Chain A
Amino acid sequence: MSWSSLVPDAIVIVDYDAGNLKSVQRACAEVGVTAAISNDPDRVRRAERVIFPGVGAAGSAMRSLIKTGLDAALKEAILAGTPVLGICLGLQISLDHSEENDTSTLGLIAGRVRRFQFDDPELKIPHMGWNEVRPVAAHPLLAGIEPGDEFYFVHGYYPAPIEQHHVYAVTDYEHDFACALGKDNYFATQFHPEKSGRVGLRLMEQFTCWNGSC
Protein backbone atom coordinates (compact mmCIF):
# COMPACT_ATOMS: atom_id res chain seq x y z
CA MET A 1 0.00 0.00 0.00
CA SER A 2 1.45 3.36 -0.99
CA TRP A 3 1.65 6.22 1.44
CA SER A 4 -0.75 8.34 -0.62
CA SER A 5 -3.51 5.77 -0.28
CA LEU A 6 -3.51 6.30 3.50
CA VAL A 7 -4.37 9.98 3.15
CA PRO A 8 -8.15 10.42 3.39
CA ASP A 9 -9.81 11.67 0.24
CA ALA A 10 -11.79 14.90 0.52
CA ILE A 11 -14.63 13.13 -1.31
CA VAL A 12 -14.92 9.57 -2.54
CA ILE A 13 -17.54 8.85 -5.20
CA VAL A 14 -18.54 5.21 -4.71
CA ASP A 15 -17.99 3.25 -7.93
CA TYR A 16 -20.19 0.15 -8.09
CA ASP A 17 -20.81 -0.11 -11.85
CA ALA A 18 -23.95 1.96 -11.59
CA GLY A 19 -23.74 4.71 -14.12
CA ASN A 20 -21.90 7.77 -15.14
CA LEU A 21 -19.87 8.91 -12.17
CA LYS A 22 -17.80 11.43 -14.08
CA SER A 23 -20.64 13.92 -14.21
CA VAL A 24 -20.69 13.89 -10.40
CA GLN A 25 -16.92 14.27 -10.34
CA ARG A 26 -17.11 17.23 -12.76
CA ALA A 27 -19.74 18.92 -10.60
CA CYS A 28 -17.45 18.52 -7.55
CA ALA A 29 -14.61 20.08 -9.54
CA GLU A 30 -16.89 22.95 -10.51
CA VAL A 31 -17.52 23.74 -6.83
CA GLY A 32 -13.82 23.50 -6.04
CA VAL A 33 -13.29 20.00 -4.64
CA THR A 34 -11.25 17.17 -6.14
CA ALA A 35 -13.28 13.99 -5.78
CA ALA A 36 -11.90 10.49 -6.30
CA ILE A 37 -13.93 7.75 -7.99
CA SER A 38 -13.17 4.49 -6.18
CA ASN A 39 -14.47 0.98 -5.55
CA ASP A 40 -12.02 0.43 -2.66
CA PRO A 41 -14.00 -0.14 0.58
CA ASP A 42 -11.09 1.12 2.70
CA ARG A 43 -10.98 4.40 0.83
CA VAL A 44 -14.72 4.77 1.41
CA ARG A 45 -14.23 4.12 5.17
CA ARG A 46 -11.46 6.73 5.40
CA ALA A 47 -12.96 9.44 3.20
CA GLU A 48 -13.87 12.80 4.70
CA ARG A 49 -17.08 12.74 2.67
CA VAL A 50 -18.75 10.15 0.47
CA ILE A 51 -21.05 10.50 -2.52
CA PHE A 52 -23.17 7.47 -3.31
CA PRO A 53 -24.62 8.03 -6.79
CA GLY A 54 -26.03 5.58 -9.26
CA VAL A 55 -28.39 4.95 -12.11
CA GLY A 56 -29.61 1.60 -13.31
CA ALA A 57 -31.46 -1.24 -11.66
CA ALA A 58 -31.62 -1.91 -7.91
CA GLY A 59 -30.99 -5.64 -8.24
CA SER A 60 -27.69 -5.52 -10.10
CA ALA A 61 -26.56 -2.53 -8.03
CA MET A 62 -27.08 -4.41 -4.73
CA ARG A 63 -25.30 -7.50 -6.05
CA SER A 64 -22.35 -5.35 -7.05
CA LEU A 65 -22.25 -3.57 -3.66
CA ILE A 66 -22.30 -6.85 -1.73
CA LYS A 67 -19.73 -8.54 -3.95
CA THR A 68 -17.24 -5.69 -3.50
CA GLY A 69 -17.86 -5.19 0.22
CA LEU A 70 -18.88 -1.61 -0.47
CA ASP A 71 -22.21 -2.15 1.31
CA ALA A 72 -20.45 -2.76 4.62
CA ALA A 73 -17.97 0.09 4.04
CA LEU A 74 -20.79 2.51 3.33
CA LYS A 75 -22.69 1.50 6.48
CA GLU A 76 -19.54 1.84 8.58
CA ALA A 77 -18.79 5.29 7.16
CA ILE A 78 -22.31 6.42 7.99
CA LEU A 79 -22.11 4.98 11.53
CA ALA A 80 -18.78 6.75 12.00
CA GLY A 81 -20.42 10.09 11.21
CA THR A 82 -19.00 10.69 7.73
CA PRO A 83 -21.24 13.03 5.72
CA VAL A 84 -22.74 10.94 2.91
CA LEU A 85 -24.78 12.16 -0.07
CA GLY A 86 -26.90 9.62 -1.96
CA ILE A 87 -28.13 10.46 -5.45
CA CYS A 88 -30.98 8.80 -7.41
CA LEU A 89 -30.41 5.03 -7.18
CA GLY A 90 -28.12 5.82 -4.24
CA LEU A 91 -31.18 7.17 -2.42
CA GLN A 92 -33.39 4.24 -3.39
CA ILE A 93 -30.88 1.69 -2.18
CA SER A 94 -30.80 3.35 1.26
CA LEU A 95 -34.34 2.15 2.04
CA ASP A 96 -35.30 -1.40 3.12
CA HIS A 97 -36.71 -2.78 -0.08
CA SER A 98 -37.24 -1.93 -3.75
CA GLU A 99 -40.02 -3.21 -5.99
CA GLU A 100 -37.46 -3.04 -8.78
CA ASN A 101 -36.25 -6.64 -9.15
CA ASP A 102 -37.92 -7.28 -5.72
CA THR A 103 -34.63 -6.37 -4.02
CA SER A 104 -33.70 -6.14 -0.34
CA THR A 105 -31.66 -2.97 0.05
CA LEU A 106 -29.40 -1.36 2.66
CA GLY A 107 -32.02 -0.40 5.25
CA LEU A 108 -30.45 2.87 6.34
CA ILE A 109 -33.86 4.54 6.32
CA ALA A 110 -37.13 2.68 7.00
CA GLY A 111 -39.31 2.37 3.93
CA ARG A 112 -39.78 0.95 0.47
CA VAL A 113 -39.28 1.95 -3.15
CA ARG A 114 -42.35 1.65 -5.35
CA ARG A 115 -42.98 1.72 -9.08
CA PHE A 116 -44.90 4.68 -10.51
CA GLN A 117 -48.31 3.49 -11.66
CA PHE A 118 -50.79 5.84 -13.26
CA ASP A 119 -54.23 5.44 -14.77
CA ASP A 120 -53.61 8.53 -16.91
CA PRO A 121 -51.69 7.32 -20.02
CA GLU A 122 -50.41 10.85 -20.60
CA LEU A 123 -48.19 10.59 -17.51
CA LYS A 124 -44.97 9.22 -18.87
CA ILE A 125 -42.77 6.68 -17.13
CA PRO A 126 -39.96 7.31 -16.33
CA HIS A 127 -40.55 10.63 -14.62
CA MET A 128 -38.00 12.47 -16.76
CA GLY A 129 -37.21 16.16 -16.78
CA TRP A 130 -37.26 19.21 -14.51
CA ASN A 131 -39.63 19.41 -11.60
CA GLU A 132 -40.08 21.61 -8.56
CA VAL A 133 -38.48 20.55 -5.28
CA ARG A 134 -40.42 21.82 -2.24
CA PRO A 135 -38.53 21.66 1.05
CA VAL A 136 -40.77 20.55 3.93
CA ALA A 137 -38.13 20.82 6.67
CA ALA A 138 -34.96 22.87 7.04
CA HIS A 139 -31.70 21.16 6.14
CA PRO A 140 -28.23 22.68 5.57
CA LEU A 141 -27.99 21.08 2.12
CA LEU A 142 -31.28 22.62 1.00
CA ALA A 143 -30.42 26.12 2.22
CA GLY A 144 -31.18 28.78 -0.37
CA ILE A 145 -33.63 26.72 -2.41
CA GLU A 146 -36.46 29.03 -3.37
CA PRO A 147 -40.06 28.18 -4.28
CA GLY A 148 -40.09 27.37 -7.99
CA ASP A 149 -36.53 26.05 -8.13
CA GLU A 150 -36.49 22.94 -10.29
CA PHE A 151 -34.12 19.98 -10.43
CA TYR A 152 -33.54 17.27 -13.03
CA PHE A 153 -35.15 13.87 -12.43
CA VAL A 154 -35.06 10.58 -14.26
CA HIS A 155 -36.56 7.55 -12.50
CA GLY A 156 -39.34 5.00 -12.82
CA TYR A 157 -39.52 4.14 -9.09
CA TYR A 158 -40.00 6.47 -6.13
CA PRO A 159 -39.08 6.31 -2.43
CA ALA A 160 -41.81 5.78 0.16
CA PRO A 161 -40.18 6.22 3.58
CA ILE A 162 -42.22 5.19 6.62
CA GLU A 163 -41.27 7.99 8.97
CA GLN A 164 -42.15 11.51 7.85
CA HIS A 165 -39.31 13.07 9.85
CA HIS A 166 -36.88 11.58 7.31
CA VAL A 167 -38.50 13.60 4.50
CA TYR A 168 -36.87 16.96 3.74
CA ALA A 169 -38.43 17.78 0.36
CA VAL A 170 -41.25 16.58 -1.87
CA THR A 171 -42.05 16.73 -5.59
CA ASP A 172 -45.39 16.40 -7.34
CA TYR A 173 -45.78 13.83 -10.11
CA GLU A 174 -49.46 12.93 -10.06
CA HIS A 175 -48.98 12.71 -6.29
CA ASP A 176 -46.36 14.14 -3.93
CA PHE A 177 -43.42 11.85 -3.31
CA ALA A 178 -40.37 12.28 -1.09
CA CYS A 179 -37.50 13.58 -3.24
CA ALA A 180 -34.99 14.32 -0.46
CA LEU A 181 -34.42 12.13 2.59
CA GLY A 182 -32.12 12.59 5.53
CA LYS A 183 -31.08 10.91 8.74
CA ASP A 184 -28.26 12.40 10.81
CA ASN A 185 -25.13 12.58 8.61
CA TYR A 186 -26.83 10.86 5.67
CA PHE A 187 -28.71 12.87 3.04
CA ALA A 188 -30.06 11.72 -0.31
CA THR A 189 -31.86 13.15 -3.31
CA GLN A 190 -33.99 11.46 -5.95
CA PHE A 191 -33.06 14.23 -8.39
CA HIS A 192 -29.63 14.77 -9.93
CA PRO A 193 -27.95 17.86 -8.42
CA GLU A 194 -24.99 17.34 -10.78
CA LYS A 195 -27.32 17.86 -13.77
CA SER A 196 -29.51 20.59 -12.30
CA GLY A 197 -27.67 23.74 -13.25
CA ARG A 198 -26.92 26.44 -10.70
CA VAL A 199 -29.31 25.24 -7.97
CA GLY A 200 -27.87 21.74 -8.19
CA LEU A 201 -24.31 23.01 -7.92
CA ARG A 202 -25.33 25.03 -4.87
CA LEU A 203 -26.50 21.83 -3.15
CA MET A 204 -23.23 20.11 -4.14
CA GLU A 205 -21.22 23.02 -2.78
CA GLN A 206 -23.16 22.93 0.49
CA PHE A 207 -22.39 19.24 0.77
CA THR A 208 -18.64 19.87 0.38
CA CYS A 209 -18.65 21.93 3.58
CA TRP A 210 -21.38 20.08 5.52
CA ASN A 211 -20.26 18.67 8.89
CA GLY A 212 -23.03 16.08 8.96
CA SER A 213 -25.34 17.68 11.49
CA CYS A 214 -28.81 18.92 10.67
Chain B
Amino acid sequence: MLSKRLIACLDVRDGKLAKSVKFVDTKDIGDPVEKAREYYADGLDELVFYDITASSDNRSIMLDVVEAVAREVFIPLSVGGGVRSVADATDLRLAGAEKINVNSAAVQRPQLIAECAEAIGDQNVVLSMDIRYAGATQVFPSGYEIVINGGRTPMGIDALAWAREGERLGAGELVVNSIDADGTREGYELTLTAMIAEAVRIPVIASGGAGEPQHLVDVLTTGKADAALVASMVHYGDFSVSELKRYVQDRGVKMRMSW
Protein backbone atom coordinates (compact mmCIF):
# COMPACT_ATOMS: atom_id res chain seq x y z
CA MET B 1 0.00 0.00 0.00
CA LEU B 2 1.24 3.44 -0.95
CA SER B 3 2.31 5.60 2.00
CA LYS B 4 1.18 9.17 2.45
CA ARG B 5 4.11 11.58 2.19
CA LEU B 6 5.49 14.17 4.55
CA ILE B 7 7.14 16.96 2.56
CA ALA B 8 9.15 19.82 4.03
CA CYS B 9 9.25 23.11 2.19
CA LEU B 10 12.26 25.37 2.51
CA ASP B 11 11.75 28.92 1.31
CA VAL B 12 15.14 30.14 0.16
CA ARG B 13 16.07 33.77 -0.36
CA ASP B 14 19.58 34.67 -1.55
CA GLY B 15 20.76 31.19 -0.58
CA LYS B 16 19.39 31.37 2.96
CA LEU B 17 16.36 29.76 4.51
CA ALA B 18 13.38 32.03 5.08
CA LYS B 19 9.87 31.40 6.31
CA SER B 20 7.00 33.67 5.45
CA VAL B 21 3.98 34.46 7.56
CA LYS B 22 1.02 35.21 5.31
CA PHE B 23 3.61 35.80 2.59
CA VAL B 24 4.86 39.08 4.05
CA ASP B 25 7.59 39.83 6.57
CA THR B 26 9.87 36.93 5.71
CA LYS B 27 12.71 36.22 8.08
CA ASP B 28 15.88 34.17 7.69
CA ILE B 29 16.11 31.04 9.76
CA GLY B 30 19.24 29.18 8.72
CA ASP B 31 21.23 27.26 6.18
CA PRO B 32 19.06 25.28 3.73
CA VAL B 33 21.68 22.60 3.06
CA GLU B 34 22.08 21.92 6.77
CA LYS B 35 18.30 21.68 7.24
CA ALA B 36 17.94 19.36 4.23
CA ARG B 37 20.60 17.03 5.64
CA GLU B 38 18.92 16.99 9.05
CA TYR B 39 15.44 16.22 7.67
CA TYR B 40 16.77 13.52 5.32
CA ALA B 41 18.47 11.74 8.22
CA ASP B 42 15.22 11.98 10.19
CA GLY B 43 13.10 10.24 7.53
CA LEU B 44 11.67 13.04 5.41
CA ASP B 45 9.92 11.68 2.28
CA GLU B 46 10.46 14.58 -0.09
CA LEU B 47 11.95 18.05 -0.07
CA VAL B 48 10.77 21.23 -1.77
CA PHE B 49 12.88 24.33 -2.26
CA TYR B 50 11.05 27.49 -3.09
CA ASP B 51 13.19 30.35 -4.37
CA ILE B 52 11.80 33.66 -3.14
CA THR B 53 14.85 35.65 -4.17
CA ALA B 54 13.70 39.06 -5.28
CA SER B 55 16.62 39.93 -7.53
CA SER B 56 17.33 37.85 -10.60
CA ASP B 57 21.07 38.46 -10.01
CA ASN B 58 21.00 36.02 -7.14
CA ARG B 59 19.18 33.23 -8.98
CA SER B 60 22.37 31.26 -9.56
CA ILE B 61 22.80 30.91 -5.79
CA MET B 62 19.71 28.71 -5.86
CA LEU B 63 21.34 26.37 -8.38
CA ASP B 64 24.32 26.04 -6.01
CA VAL B 65 22.01 25.21 -3.10
CA VAL B 66 20.18 22.56 -5.15
CA GLU B 67 23.45 21.05 -6.34
CA ALA B 68 24.87 20.88 -2.81
CA VAL B 69 21.72 19.21 -1.47
CA ALA B 70 21.45 16.74 -4.37
CA ARG B 71 24.95 15.45 -3.64
CA GLU B 72 23.96 14.11 -0.25
CA VAL B 73 20.19 13.87 0.00
CA PHE B 74 18.78 10.82 -1.83
CA ILE B 75 15.04 11.49 -1.80
CA PRO B 76 12.97 13.33 -4.41
CA LEU B 77 13.88 16.97 -4.59
CA SER B 78 11.46 19.52 -5.99
CA VAL B 79 12.29 23.13 -6.79
CA GLY B 80 10.12 26.11 -7.63
CA GLY B 81 9.91 29.87 -7.52
CA GLY B 82 10.40 32.00 -10.59
CA VAL B 83 10.32 29.16 -13.15
CA ARG B 84 9.26 30.93 -16.37
CA SER B 85 10.59 28.74 -19.15
CA VAL B 86 11.73 25.26 -20.11
CA ALA B 87 15.29 26.61 -19.84
CA ASP B 88 14.71 27.54 -16.16
CA ALA B 89 13.32 24.05 -15.54
CA THR B 90 16.22 22.36 -17.33
CA ASP B 91 18.82 24.35 -15.38
CA LEU B 92 17.26 23.27 -12.10
CA ARG B 93 17.05 19.65 -13.27
CA LEU B 94 20.71 19.63 -14.19
CA ALA B 95 21.54 21.03 -10.77
CA GLY B 96 19.77 18.03 -9.24
CA ALA B 97 16.05 18.80 -8.90
CA GLU B 98 13.79 15.85 -9.72
CA LYS B 99 10.57 17.82 -9.99
CA ILE B 100 9.95 21.39 -11.05
CA ASN B 101 7.21 23.54 -9.52
CA VAL B 102 5.55 26.09 -11.73
CA ASN B 103 3.22 28.72 -10.32
CA SER B 104 2.70 32.38 -11.35
CA ALA B 105 4.24 32.07 -14.80
CA ALA B 106 1.93 29.13 -15.58
CA VAL B 107 -1.14 31.15 -14.59
CA GLN B 108 -0.03 33.92 -16.95
CA ARG B 109 0.93 31.48 -19.71
CA PRO B 110 -0.66 28.03 -19.18
CA GLN B 111 1.22 26.52 -22.11
CA LEU B 112 4.33 26.58 -19.88
CA ILE B 113 2.92 23.46 -18.16
CA ALA B 114 2.66 21.56 -21.45
CA GLU B 115 6.12 22.69 -22.55
CA CYS B 116 7.72 21.57 -19.29
CA ALA B 117 5.82 18.26 -19.37
CA GLU B 118 7.12 17.62 -22.88
CA ALA B 119 10.70 18.51 -21.92
CA ILE B 120 11.07 16.79 -18.54
CA GLY B 121 8.13 14.37 -18.33
CA ASP B 122 4.62 14.81 -16.90
CA GLN B 123 5.47 13.22 -13.59
CA ASN B 124 8.15 15.83 -12.91
CA VAL B 125 5.97 18.89 -13.40
CA VAL B 126 4.25 20.12 -10.25
CA LEU B 127 1.62 22.82 -10.58
CA SER B 128 1.68 24.92 -7.44
CA MET B 129 -1.48 26.94 -6.87
CA ASP B 130 -1.91 29.84 -4.44
CA ILE B 131 -5.60 29.95 -3.62
CA ARG B 132 -7.83 32.33 -1.69
CA TYR B 133 -11.44 31.99 -0.54
CA ALA B 134 -13.65 34.28 -2.62
CA GLY B 135 -17.19 33.08 -1.95
CA ALA B 136 -19.14 31.25 -4.64
CA THR B 137 -20.10 33.52 -7.54
CA GLN B 138 -20.58 33.10 -11.27
CA VAL B 139 -16.89 33.83 -11.80
CA PHE B 140 -15.79 31.51 -8.98
CA PRO B 141 -18.24 28.58 -8.93
CA SER B 142 -15.96 26.67 -6.55
CA GLY B 143 -15.84 29.63 -4.16
CA TYR B 144 -12.05 29.87 -4.48
CA GLU B 145 -9.82 31.96 -6.74
CA ILE B 146 -6.24 31.82 -7.95
CA VAL B 147 -3.84 34.54 -6.78
CA ILE B 148 -0.19 35.14 -7.70
CA ASN B 149 2.76 37.23 -6.52
CA GLY B 150 2.68 35.71 -3.06
CA GLY B 151 -1.04 36.33 -2.73
CA ARG B 152 -1.03 39.99 -3.69
CA THR B 153 -2.52 39.71 -7.18
CA PRO B 154 -5.93 38.09 -7.76
CA MET B 155 -6.23 36.57 -11.23
CA GLY B 156 -9.99 36.23 -11.65
CA ILE B 157 -9.61 32.48 -12.26
CA ASP B 158 -11.61 29.80 -10.48
CA ALA B 159 -9.31 27.51 -8.48
CA LEU B 160 -11.06 24.25 -9.32
CA ALA B 161 -11.17 25.07 -13.03
CA TRP B 162 -7.45 25.87 -12.95
CA ALA B 163 -6.63 22.59 -11.18
CA ARG B 164 -8.45 20.64 -13.90
CA GLU B 165 -6.79 22.68 -16.64
CA GLY B 166 -3.36 22.06 -15.07
CA GLU B 167 -3.99 18.32 -15.09
CA ARG B 168 -5.16 18.46 -18.71
CA LEU B 169 -2.03 20.37 -19.75
CA GLY B 170 0.19 17.69 -18.27
CA ALA B 171 0.97 18.53 -14.64
CA GLY B 172 1.90 15.36 -12.75
CA GLU B 173 0.98 16.66 -9.33
CA LEU B 174 -0.75 19.66 -7.71
CA VAL B 175 0.17 21.73 -4.68
CA VAL B 176 -2.92 23.29 -3.09
CA ASN B 177 -1.64 26.22 -1.07
CA SER B 178 -4.23 28.13 0.91
CA ILE B 179 -3.24 31.78 1.27
CA ASP B 180 -5.85 32.17 3.98
CA ALA B 181 -4.38 29.37 6.08
CA ASP B 182 -0.69 29.97 5.33
CA GLY B 183 1.26 30.94 8.40
CA THR B 184 -1.74 30.75 10.74
CA ARG B 185 -0.79 27.36 12.24
CA GLU B 186 -4.51 26.73 12.62
CA GLY B 187 -4.73 23.82 10.19
CA TYR B 188 -4.95 23.15 6.47
CA GLU B 189 -7.92 24.32 4.40
CA LEU B 190 -9.67 20.94 4.38
CA THR B 191 -12.70 21.86 2.25
CA LEU B 192 -10.55 23.32 -0.51
CA THR B 193 -8.04 20.45 -0.46
CA ALA B 194 -10.70 17.72 -0.58
CA MET B 195 -12.60 19.48 -3.35
CA ILE B 196 -9.54 19.59 -5.59
CA ALA B 197 -8.28 16.10 -4.67
CA GLU B 198 -11.66 14.65 -5.65
CA ALA B 199 -11.72 16.52 -8.96
CA VAL B 200 -8.37 15.34 -10.35
CA ARG B 201 -6.70 11.97 -10.88
CA ILE B 202 -3.15 13.19 -10.11
CA PRO B 203 -1.71 13.39 -6.55
CA VAL B 204 -2.46 16.46 -4.43
CA ILE B 205 -0.08 18.01 -1.91
CA ALA B 206 -1.74 20.11 0.80
CA SER B 207 0.06 23.27 1.86
CA GLY B 208 -0.49 26.13 4.27
CA GLY B 209 -1.66 26.21 7.85
CA ALA B 210 -0.03 23.24 9.60
CA GLY B 211 0.61 23.94 13.27
CA GLU B 212 -0.28 20.74 15.15
CA PRO B 213 0.41 17.09 14.27
CA GLN B 214 -3.34 16.47 14.17
CA HIS B 215 -3.60 18.92 11.26
CA LEU B 216 -1.57 16.48 9.14
CA VAL B 217 -3.86 13.60 10.05
CA ASP B 218 -6.90 15.73 9.18
CA VAL B 219 -5.66 16.76 5.74
CA LEU B 220 -4.52 13.23 4.83
CA THR B 221 -7.93 11.80 5.76
CA THR B 222 -10.77 14.36 5.59
CA GLY B 223 -8.78 16.57 3.20
CA LYS B 224 -8.05 13.58 0.91
CA ALA B 225 -4.50 14.82 0.26
CA ASP B 226 -1.78 12.42 -0.86
CA ALA B 227 0.95 14.39 0.86
CA ALA B 228 1.19 17.07 3.54
CA LEU B 229 3.64 19.91 3.25
CA VAL B 230 5.10 21.45 6.40
CA ALA B 231 7.48 24.34 6.98
CA SER B 232 7.59 26.33 10.22
CA MET B 233 6.42 23.34 12.28
CA VAL B 234 9.75 21.65 11.67
CA HIS B 235 12.03 24.61 10.88
CA TYR B 236 11.83 26.12 14.36
CA GLY B 237 12.35 22.81 16.12
CA ASP B 238 8.81 22.56 17.54
CA PHE B 239 8.44 19.10 15.99
CA SER B 240 10.87 16.70 14.36
CA VAL B 241 10.12 14.99 11.06
CA SER B 242 10.15 11.52 12.62
CA GLU B 243 7.92 12.63 15.48
CA LEU B 244 5.30 13.95 13.04
CA LYS B 245 5.42 10.76 10.97
CA ARG B 246 5.05 8.60 14.06
CA TYR B 247 2.04 10.64 15.24
CA VAL B 248 0.29 10.33 11.87
CA GLN B 249 1.11 6.62 11.54
CA ASP B 250 -0.22 5.94 15.05
CA ARG B 251 -3.55 7.43 13.99
CA GLY B 252 -3.99 4.93 11.19
CA VAL B 253 -2.54 6.83 8.23
CA LYS B 254 0.19 4.78 6.57
CA MET B 255 3.58 6.50 6.52
CA ARG B 256 7.08 5.25 5.64
CA MET B 257 8.47 4.38 9.07
CA SER B 258 11.83 2.78 8.33
CA TRP B 259 14.70 4.60 6.70
Contact = CB atoms under 8 A, between A and B. Distances in A.
Contacts of A125: 201-202
Contacts of A69: none
B75 interface: yes
A121 to B, nearest CB: 7
Interface in A173-196: 173, 194-196
Contacts of B30: none
B74 A121 contact: no
A199 interface: yes
A172 to B, nearest CB: 6
Interface size class of B (residues with CB under 8 A): 35 or more
Contacts of B182: none
A197 interface: yes
Contact of A121 (B72, B121, B201): B201
B109 to A, nearest CB: 24
Main secondary structure on B side of the interface with A: loop
B5 A129 contact: yes
A132 interface: yes
B203 interface: yes
B195 interface: no
Contacts of A198: 74, 259
B252 to A, nearest CB: 16
Interface in B191-246: 198, 201-203, 224, 226-227
Given A56-B121, A128-B173, A172-B1, 17 more contacts: A19-B120, A20-B93, A22-B70, A23-B96, A26-B74, A55-B123, A55-B124, A124-B201, A127-B2, A128-B172, A129-B2, A129-B227, A130-B45, A131-B2, A153-B2, A198-B259, A199-B259
Interface of B: 1-5, 40, 45, 70-72, 74-76, 93-94, 96, 98, 120-124, 172-173, 198, 201-203, 224, 226-227, 256-259
Interface of A: 19-20, 22-23, 26-27, 29-30, 55-57, 121-122, 124-132, 146, 148-150, 152-156, 172-173, 194-201
